[in-house]
Amino acid sequence: MTVRATLRGRRFAVLDDFLDGAALEEVRRTMAASAFSAAESPLLTGQDGALRSRGTVVRGAAADLGAAGDPAAYGLVRSAVAAEPELFGRPGEDWDRVGFTFWNYPVGSGLAWHGDAGGGRRGSYVLFLHEEWRASWGGELMVLDEEEADTGTVELQVRESGSSPVAIVPRPNRLVLLRAGTPHRINRVDPTAALVRCSLTGFAMKRPDGAGADARDRFRELVGALKGASE
């Protein structure tokens, strides 16, 4: 199956049938072997909350410079991000690393309106990995295709906007690319959903400038490595 670009906005793009069968199976195996813990975020809106895989993997911009043992999906996602300079800017210059985290959203969980602006983030991607998703199971990724306002809350912006959010159904093997600073949320997963909403997500980011920021970054990496080793 070949990748199909099925929907494109000003600030987002949707690619379907993103991975071939072998790559999809491989990244699902990586997800199944990952340790998950409850995600704590003020954005989570569910009673049950979401789970995220421990120890986010971070890789550089070049798709062919992954670590040995990385699923092929990681390189393919980086290529897809690099192929969208209008959404993410220039690879290696505007962003130089991409994170990879698996997420599970069980029945009742969701994510509140937010924009993901700041922190050197240029954009994000979401790849849906569950085996099946019915249109009535909820969990849609809602996107308001406009720039996040610098005043007020994102929730207020969406409420007052003259346009309406687009509902992106979490179809398996669908990749969504989203420019940072675009209001979005995850609708709660419906009580009738038979499966957990599973995704691989991450940000394309630029390392912050300045020695202080560099030192902070190195410190975070060190803490991350120590935490990873103890988990």
Ligand X SMILES: O=C(O)CCC(=O)C(=O)O
Residues that bind Fe ion (CB under 5 A): 116
**Vertex 178: Cα angle to 173 and 179 (nearest 5):** 160
Residue 113 amino acid letter: W
Closest CA to 146 of 117, 103, 173: 117
Does residue 141 bind ligand X (CB under 6 A)?
yes
State which residue, 66 or 99, has the beta carbon closest to ligand X: 99
**Vertex 102: Cα angle to 106 and 76 (nearest 5):** 135
State which residue, 10 or 218, has the beta carbon closest to ligand X: 10
State which residue, 67 or 95, has the beta carbon closest to Fe ion: 95
Does residue 186 bind ligand X (CB under 6 A)?
yes
186 binds, among ligand X, Fe ion, none (CB under 5 to 8 A by kind): ligand X
Please state the closest distance from residue 201 (CB atom) to ligand X, in A: 5
Does residue 77 bind ligand X (CB under 6 A)?
no
Q: Following DSSP, what letter does each residue of 159-198 receive, concatenated?
A: HH-SS--EEE---TT-EEEEESS--EEEPPBPTT--S-EE
Closest CA to 73 of 82, 63, 88, 83: 63
Does residue 104 bind ligand X (CB under 6 A)?
no
Q: Are strands 51-53 and 97-105 parallel, antiparallel or unpaired?
A: antiparallel
**Residue 144 CA: distances (Å) to CA of 81, 154, 228:** 20, 10, 36
Number of residues that bind ligand X (CB under 6 A): 10
**Which residue among 59, 130, 174, 184 contacts ligand X (CB under 6 A)?**
184
Does residue 126 bind ligand X (CB under 6 A)?
yes
Please state the closest distance from residue 185 (CB atom) to ligand X, in A: 7
Does residue 111 bind ligand X (CB under 6 A)?
yes
Q: Is the dihedral of CA 221, 110, 206, 19 positive or negative?
A: positive
Does residue 189 bind ligand X (CB under 6 A)?
no
64 vs 110: CA distance, rounded Å:
34
Please state the closest distance from residue 12 (CB atom) to ligand X, in A: 11
Does residue 158 bind ligand X (CB under 6 A)?
no
Does residue 87 bind ligand X (CB under 6 A)?
no
Binding site for ligand X (CB under 6 A): 103, 111, 116, 124, 126, 141, 184, 186, 199, 201
